[in-house]
Amino acid sequence: AQSVTQLGSHVSVSEGALVLLRCNYSSSVPPYLFWYVQYPNQGLQLLLKYTSAATLVKGINGFEAEFKKSETSFHLTKPSAHMSDAAEYFCAVRIYNTDKLIFGTGTRLQVFP
């Protein structure tokens, strides 16, 4: 079975600091991986996706993620946090041969001035 695990339910950074949100996956087949962001009382917005092309994926709002097969990881990073980045972030994996997504438990990012 495929799954994703997000380490750390809460991450706090200062404005301007590096953002690192962790996601590890489990999959017996090459996975399709996604990062979504959710602002309060809103749906999810796609930040970026990995679909077996380049291992370093650049997304919107300055975020990027690197697929590392040896570490089964797909961590999300941003060099410099902005106050507007404060939100809930979800890592997800597509179930093989379907359009269904399995989501991680989410990481709440807080950004302090």
Using CB under 8 A, list all residues that contact other proteins.
32, 36, 41-46, 49, 51, 90, 94, 99-106
For residue 3, give both structure tokens: 């799954």
Question: Which CB, 14 or 61, lies closer to other proteins?
Answer: 61
For residue 4, give both structure tokens: 């994703």
Question: Which CB, 72 or 96, lies closer to other proteins?
Answer: 96
Question: Which CB, 7 or 102, lies closer to other proteins?
Answer: 102
For residue 49, give both structure tokens: 């996706």
Q: How many CA within 13 A on the CB side of residue 47?
A: 27
Question: Which CB, 70 or 97, lies closer to other proteins?
Answer: 97
Question: Smallest distance, Å, CB 87 to other proteins?
Answer: 14
Question: Smallest distance, Å, CB 99 to other proteins?
Answer: 5
Question: Smallest distance, Å, CB 113 to other proteins?
Answer: 24
Query: In 1-113, which ranges are E strands?
Result: 3-7, 10-14, 19-26, 33-38, 44-50, 56-58, 64-68, 73-78, 87-94, 101-103, 107-112
Question: Smallest distance, Å, CB 109 to other proteins?
Answer: 14
Three-state secondary structure call for residue 61: helix
